[in-house]
Amino acid sequence: MSRVLIVGAGHAGATLAGLLRQAGHRGPVELFGDEVDLPYHRPPLSKKFTGGELEQWLRPPEFYREQDITVRLGEPVTTIDRDGCRVRTASGEFHRYDHLVLATGAEPRALPVPGADLAGVVSLRTLADARMLRTCIDERRSLVIVGGGYIGLEVAAVARSCGVEVTVVEREDRVLARVASPRLSEILAAHHREQGTRIVTGAEVTRIDGAGGRARAVVLGDGTTIPSEAVLVGVGAVPRDRLAADAGLLCAQGVVVDEHARTSDPRILAIGDVTRRPLASGALVRLESIPSATEQARQALATITGAAPVAAEVPWFWSDQFDLKLKIAGLVPATPSTVLRGDPATGRFALFHHHGGTVTAVESANSPGEFMAGKKFIASRARIDPDRLADASVPLRDVVHQYGA
């Protein structure tokens, strides 16, 4: 009958609330959100922001009432009183907890250049942001995207498909430099260019020029000026860990948690994008993905209800760009040895990254079988024969020569 307070009505928080009821938890469950919308799926925001499919609720609105989950929207939690086991909200109310779960997510990293506050310059995290992006694109026919990460490239793909003139400006020497292998970056950049997107790498935005309070052009370090009235800033996200840090919880660019979602205070758990979490390998990482948020919600459920610990999952996520359904598992090493299976020209391929034959990551496009096999190889530390893996005529089950390497 313990009282569970969840701060953050996003993917992780709302998933945990539902799981608690599903597991038979009978005590009060309260979900606090600073957004005004009911919990929704964020992935469509960068993939479906044209065409009216933005509002995809995680649960139907009546779910929360039927499950006796109290949802307090537009009600940010401002402080945690750890000694009194209570939180304070922006309206000045106090709420007591037995278990407190921080699921406050992340927010877009700001672009620290003059003009970033002009009208027409948007970032993308919330439904409200996506609606604004849609309006910008509907009203103007050109878009500059600052940052060639997954969100930037997804938006580029949708905007190009609508006939918008798109330029992606990336500071590193390749798109997806932080998260993907050089080979995947190269394949995706070529695909985007074929569709008419201009990609400028190794270029830093130094200012955004405007007129009448509206963006008019993006200016690069070498003086190049790219005219555009709509600018999407997609330069990464930072964890919303201020609430936790102010309460004295251990934070290191994210709330530090263990594999049971516990913070440095045993009564306080943290889940989702706000956390820095351990993987099975012991590495502490910050993941921004739905599968990670869901896995940690299950970890928190087990901790709160005293159920058996959750088995560790291989981290994975997906991205849609034009006709490419990408699925990625594991962490791509900085200098991978890579096996290509399939043919990028057909849009169906998988890149398996390995250390001396032990697979550590797979990046796949339109290849669900390769993705599933790669995920299993990583989990079982399978040693593969690179030559056999590269030969698409050899069945995937026949490429492993040792498990648990």
Ligand X SMILES: Cc1cc2nc3c(=O)[nH]c(=O)nc-3n(C[C@H](O)[C@H](O)[C@H](O)COP(=O)(O)OP(=O)(O)OC[C@H]3O[C@@H](n4cnc5c(N)ncnc54)[C@H](O)[C@@H]3O)c2cc1C
Q: Which residues form the interface with ligand X (CB under 6 A)? A: 7-13, 32-35, 42-43, 45-46, 76-77, 103-105, 124-125, 151, 240, 243, 272-274, 288-291, 293, 317-319
Task: Report, in Å, the least distance between residue 152 CB and ligand X.
Answer: 10
Q: Which is nearer to ligand X, 46 or 360 (CB)?
A: 46
C-beta of residue 384 within 8 angstroms of C-beta of residue 402 = no
Task: Report, in Å, the least distance between residue 78 CB and ligand X.
Answer: 7
Q: Which is nearer to ligand X, 122 or 274 (CB)?
A: 274
Task: Report, in Å, the least distance between residue 30 CB and ligand X.
Answer: 11
Q: Which is nearer to ligand X, 7 or 159 (CB)?
A: 7
Only one residue has tokens 């996520």, namely: 317
Q: Which is nearer to ligand X, 85 or 179 (CB)?
A: 179
3-state DSSP: the chain helix, strand, coil percent, rounded to 5?
25, 30, 40
What three-state secondary structure class fits 81? strand
Amino acid in position 43: P
Amino acid in position 14: A
Kind of pairing between the strands at 29-33 and 69-73: parallel
For the chain, what is the largest distance between any 2 Cα atoms, rounded to a whole number of angstroms?
66
Residues 6+ apart with CB under 8 A from 49: 130, 133, 134, 137, 155, 158
| Cα radius of gyration (the chain) | 22
Helices (H), 60-181: 62-66, 127-139, 150-161
Virtual torsion, Cα 37, 41, 44, 49, nearest 10 deg: 0
Task: Report, in Å, the least distance between residue 15 CB and ligand X.
Answer: 8
Q: Which is nearer to ligand X, 77 or 304 (CB)?
A: 77
Task: Report, in Å, the least distance between residue 74 CB and ligand X.
Answer: 9
Q: Which is nearer to ligand X, 210 or 315 (CB)?
A: 315
Among 70, 62, 72, which residue's Cα sits nearest to residue 93? 72
What token pair was written down for 150?
């997954």
Helices (H), 115-234: 127-139, 150-161, 182-194
Q: Which is nearer to ligand X, 211 or 252 (CB)?
A: 252
Q: Which is nearer to ligand X, 77 or 159 (CB)?
A: 77
Q: Which is nearer to ligand X, 151 or 400 (CB)?
A: 151
Q: Which is nearer to ligand X, 319 or 360 (CB)?
A: 319
Query: What is the phi/psi pair of residue 381, to 5°?
Result: 50, 50
CA angle 276, 278, 281 (to 5 degrees): 145
Task: Report, in Å, the least distance between residue 125 CB and ligand X.
Answer: 5
Kind of pairing between the strands at 205-211 and 214-220: antiparallel
Q: Which is nearer to ligand X, 104 or 338 (CB)?
A: 104
Q: How many CA atoms lie within 13 A of 321 on its CB side?
A: 28
Residues 6+ apart with CB under 8 A from 137: 49, 50, 143, 159, 162, 164, 230
Task: Report, in Å, the least distance between residue 351 CB and ligand X.
Answer: 18
Task: Report, in Å, the least distance between residue 89 CB and ligand X.
Answer: 8
Query: What is the phi/psi pair of residue 253, to 5°?
Result: 50, 60
Amino acid in position 377: F
The residue with its CB nearest to ligand X is: 10
Task: Report, in Å, the least distance between residue 52 CB and ligand X.
Answer: 17
Task: Report, in Å, the least distance between residue 172 CB and ligand X.
Answer: 20
Task: Report, in Å, the least distance between residue 76 CB and ligand X.
Answer: 4
